[in-house]
Amino acid sequence: MAITAHETDHGTDDRSLVELIEHCAELKGDLVAFAQSSRFDRWLTPLLLEAAGPERRLDEAEAIRIIDHFVLRYRLPDGATVLDRFVAGRRDLNEADRQVLLGWRDPVEGIFEIRRKEGAAVVLLNLVDDLEYRVYSNVGPAAFRGVSKGGFLLTCLVPLLTADGPWLISGAMEHYPKSSATAVAQAAVQLAAGRPELVFRNPEKIEQGWQQMREDRAAFVEFCGGDELVLPPAEAADLLNSYYRHRQQATVAAHPDRARGRRLPGLDFPAFQLPHDLADSDTIGVIYDEVDGMNFYADYGMLRDLFADPALAGRRQYQDLLRTYLREDSIAPLPIRRLAAAHPETVDAVFRKLLRKPGFTWAEHGEELLRRRKPWYYAHEPRPGVSVIGERLGELAAGGRQRQLTKARRLPRQAKRL
């Protein structure tokens, strides 16, 4: 029988909530057992062995975290998750149970500050998306014994019923004391920069991110003379570090009180260093796009030469480079679109030679080609290249001295060198 929770003025009715949590615990137990069955060994076992390393040591919390990720988010070869297959295969599930389980397909990952305890629940502020969550555990209040206001939890949450209602701990939960605030905040900033989709669960952060990126791009264009550069790697790194120092100095001049007592990067502390695969290129392209943000591309000068002189399309090295740009998932359509727009008189000849299609025209077939080669790019709405973090995280990251919205730049996409 399905369990449904009844809402009151203060949230979910306590008795119904306890029954719902117990029922979710049963569903989760069945789901985990399903994931650990022999049918999934070929995918789960390698993940556990890789995490265990050569010494074959894996602590319980890490094993739980890996299994939970495998159950909810790991994509099997057909694109489905273990959760999808569980729901599809359990004919005995009623519609209410199916909806509960399918709600778990969008878990919330984060680093959470403990705001307060409320009965069997804790109210958590996700330092990454700056949203509050009322959270329960399927093992009851004992799960939160020893955690206190001001401490931190590293965990994953799934909705009990809907995303605007109470939430449930999923997988492992690690507790850090209040004294770990600075280190925890630094980890949250890194998480926001490396996985901006976690930040953008909060719609306010999307608009704030676009605004920050517009301001940053305008400053880049003014400083560098344009939004597209082609330079040797060393020159590009020097220019970008000069730009970041310029931005830092402008920020300090505008808000000197916020920088007081902080050690700021100087000439001996470059803010930007090229990855090795870019540093070994003859040239790199730096494009700061209005939508795709700032990105770096290996051997972009060579690719630009190809579009300027389509006769080069007969040379293998130029063909291989363009194929790489079309093939790699690490490269968005942006650089090809840019070059096609800059060279309308030659783009058709370049692709006719590459694709061996005499009738190809960029105007008629170009977008279709990009959508076929890079479907992942078109699968989601564009997001800003700057993740804006909340006031509380900015305050914790600065050791309590800074109260402002801070930005964490998303890691750029990079073209792989041949």
The more confident residue out of 316 and 263 is 316
pLDDT band for position 264 (cuts 50, 70, 90): very low
CATH class of the region 1-176: mainly beta
Q: What gap in Å lies between CA 412 and CA 272, rounded to an integer? A: 12
What was the pLDDT predicted at 275?
77
Lowest-confidence pick of 73-82, 106-115, 248-257, 349-358: 248-257
pLDDT at 271 over 80: no
Report, as an integer, the average pLDDT of 304-314: 95
Give me the mean pLDDT over the 342-357 stretch. Answer: 96
Res 195: pLDDT: 87
C-beta separation of 252 from 264 below 8 A: yes
Closest CA to 112 of 60, 164, 201, 185: 185
What pLDDT does residue 416 have?
31
pLDDT digits (tens, 9 = 90+) for 134-150: 999 988 888 898 888 99
pLDDT of residue 57: 87
pLDDT value of residue 354: 94
Query: At 303, is the secondary structure helix, strand, or coil?
Result: helix
- The pLDDT of residue 177 is 93
d(CA 349, CA 308): 11
**Which pair of tokens denotes residue 70?**
């495998």
CA distances to 249, 252, 280 from 256, in Å: 10, 5, 39
pLDDT tens across 166-225, in order?
999 999 899 999 999 999 999 999 998 888 889 999 999 999 999 999 999 999 999 999
Amino acid at 252: V
| pLDDT at position 280 | 85
Cβ distance 410 to 387 under 8 Å? yes
pLDDT value, residue 289: 96
* Residue 74 token pair: 């790991």
pLDDT band at 111 (very low <50, low <70, confident <90, very high): very high
Give the residue extent of every domain in the chain: 1-176, 204-378
Cα gap 40→80, rounded to integer Å = 13
**pLDDT confidence tier of residue 248, bands split at 50, 70 and 90:** confident
- Average pLDDT for 91-101: 92
User: b/e for 58-75, b at 16 or more Cβ within 10 A?
Assistant: eeeeebebbbbbbbbbbe
pLDDT score of 7 more than 60: no
Burial 347-378 (b: 16+ CB within 10 A, else e): bbbbbbbbeeeeebebeebbeebbeebbeebe
Give the pLDDT score at 257. Answer: 60
> pLDDT value at position 250?
80
- Left if phi > 0, otherwise alpha if psi is -120 to 50, otherwise beta: which for 146? left
- pLDDT of residue 18 exceeding 60: yes
Q: Which of 12-16, 106-110, 127-131, 275-279 has the lowest mean pLDDT?
A: 12-16
What is residue 400's three-state secondary structure? coil
Averaged pLDDT for residues 118-125: 93
For 47-61, 206-220, 252-266, 380-394, which range has the lowest pLDDT when averaged over its residues? 252-266
Q: What is the percent of the chain where pLDDT is above 70? A: 87
Is residue 127 within 8 A of residue 205, CB to CB? The reply is no
Residue whose token pair is 């602590």: 59
Q: What is the DSSP letter of 416?
A: P
Mean pLDDT of 1-25: 62
pLDDT band at 15 (very low <50, low <70, confident <90, very high): low
Q: Which one is predicted more confidently, 196 or 339?
A: 339
Q: Structure tokens of 93?
A: 């599930």
Mean pLDDT across the chain, nearest whole number? 86
Mean pLDDT, to the nearest integer, of 256-266? Answer: 51
Tell how strand 293-298 and strand 228-231 pair up: unpaired
Q: Are 386 and 407 in contact (CB under 8 A)?
A: yes
Q: How far apart (Å, rounded) are the C-alpha atoms in residues 291 and 373?
A: 20
CA atoms within 13 A on the CB side of 247: 19
The residue among 380 and 263 whose pLDDT is bigger is 380
Backbone angles phi, psi at 297, to 5 degrees: -135, 125
- State the DSSP H helix or E strand holding residue 124, giving kind and residue range, or none if neither: strand 121-126
The partner residues of 126 in beta bridges, in order of sequence, read 112
Report residue 314 as tokens: 């007969």
Q: Could you tell me the CA-to-CA distances from 253 to 244, 257, 262, 304 in Å, in that order?
A: 14, 9, 14, 39
User: Quick one: average pLDDT of 114-138?
Assistant: 94
